[in-house]
């Protein structure tokens, strides 16, 4: 019994943190798609900030390469990044699986869209 409880807690905490991490990655990917679409259509980098506000991920940052009229073949690109901090006590253990020193993961998502109307 003394060996089973820590193992079950490890599995449970792993499921919780992995589920939240995957959810944040999906939201970030969808946000990059929406941001690049609105930025390519309107041509305004302010739309990227508005999309970031709708994501609900505080602390997300964006890099934006707008459409250039001189280079019509160059696509608009938005790259979003977000640092995920584990919510369970597994944070220290997660550094052995690719996390930072305190178990944080940097998630990135890139959206690319052609500028041709």
From first to last of its 117 residues, what are the pLDDT tens digits of the chain?
788 998 999 899 889 988 999 999 999 999 888 888 887 777 666 767 777 777 777 778 888 887 776 676 778 888 999 988 888 887 777 666 666 667 788 899 999 988 765
pTM, two decimals, is 0.80
Q: What is the pLDDT of residue 43?
A: 66
Q: Provide the pLDDT for residue 29.
A: 93
**Tell me, what DSSP letter sits at residue 68?**
B
3-state secondary structure of 69: coil
Contacts for 81 with CB less than 8 Å, ≥ 6 apart: 60, 61, 62, 63, 106, 107, 108, 109
- Number of structural domains in the chain: 1
């Amino acid at each position: 019994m003394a060996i089973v409880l820590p193992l079950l807690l490890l599995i449970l905490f792993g499921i919780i943190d992995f589920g939240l991490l995957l959810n944040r990655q999906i939201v970030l990917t969808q946000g990059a798609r929406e941001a690049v679409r609105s930025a390519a259509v309107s041509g305004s980098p302010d739309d990227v900030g508005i999309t970031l506000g709708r994501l609900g991920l505080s602390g997300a940052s964006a890099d934006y390469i707008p459409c250039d009229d001189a280079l019509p073949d160059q696509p608009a690109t938005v790259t979003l990044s977000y640092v995920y901090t584990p919510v369970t006590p597994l944070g220290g253990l997660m550094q052995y699986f690719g996390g930072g020193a305190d178990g944080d993961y940097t998630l990135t998502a890139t959206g690319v869209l052609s500028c041709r109307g």
